[in-house]
Amino acid sequence: MQRSTAEQNAGPKRRFGVFEYDPQARELTKHGVRLKLQEQPVQILAALLAQAGQIVPREELQRRLWPDGTFVDYEQSLNKAVNKLREALGDSTASPIYIETLSRRGYRFVAPVERDEVPEPAVSTVAPAPPAPALRRRALPWVVAGGCALAVVLATGLWPIHVPLVERVVPLTGDTVRKLGTIFSDGNKVLYGDSNWVYSVAVSGGKPTPTSLDFLPKGWMNDLTSYSPIREQIVVTSHYSSKPGLDELWLSGTGGESPRKICDVPRLSRIALAPNTERIALST
């Protein structure tokens, strides 16, 4: 389908959570990594972001996706496209973080959206005439006084400091699981471990989803040490190792993928998994 000039120049980039949407390139990125998304989910995202906080009727989305003369099961096809968009965002219908469904009416983008500032076009002006010597002499004492006041502020540290404010506190879990190792979050969910399991819970709270670490020996400390939100992969360090002073490094998935041992690493190492899970950084 041919895009109009208005769509090709669709304004500034829009950011929400860990995502950024570029209307001109029609690309969605997560943590700076481009996500593969089909054309129809991208068009739905563009329409929802353009009217963030407002209800976008299903009929409007249908007209946007399928021009007149297109024969398709609109209801089922639209539901399928919205579900694909939700999958890319890690969103859910039951506890929406980004896209809210209004039964038989439409959809609404509920997350805060930030936009890049569009620079104002430069306006050519005629430079004013330089002040007369008498005016410069009268202004000099004020300039000196202002400089002294600025020096006092800088020397005493009295300049205003922007202090981040806590907007709200949300209890994520109500279990008695002992959270060990590092806690990770991708903006949509929080991951933590207790040596035998790794748990995932939505940032809005709810029942944690467990992933078993039964592939590791029992009775040993197993720490969640890194996480890739793009590929949904975790790195677990097990203090069990047949080599003294070393730990085993394992890569596993939160969706039931088969785990595999990567290597043995020096104990107390710091681990970082690349977003595409193809490389691991290690420091001691």
The residues with which 115 forms a beta bridge, in sequence order, are 14
pTM metric for this prediction: 0.43
Tokens standing for residue 63: 């007209």
How many C-alpha atoms does 170 have within 13 Å on its Cβ side? Answer: 11
165-180 pLDDT, tens digit per residue, is 777 777 777 777 777 6
Q: What digits encode the pLDDT tens for the residues 205-261?
A: 788 888 888 788 776 777 888 888 777 888 888 877 677 888 888 888 876 668 888
Torsions phi, psi for 63 (to 5 deg): -65, -35
Task: Tell me: pLDDT of 2 over 50.
Answer: no
What the chain holds in terms of domains, given with CATH numbers, is 5-115 (1.10.10.10), 180-283 (2.120.10.30)
**Residue-wise pLDDT tens digits, 89-147:** 999 888 889 999 998 899 999 999 998 765 655 565 556 655 556 656 666 677 777 77
Say whether pLDDT at 75 is over 90: no
How confident is the model over 50-60, as pLDDT tens digits? 999 999 999 99
Contact between 46 and 26 under an 8 Å Cβ cutoff? The reply is yes
Instruction: Please provide the average confidence, as pLDDT, over all residues in the chain.
Output: 79
**pLDDT value of residue 274:** 85
113 close to 15: Cβ distance less than 8 angstroms: yes
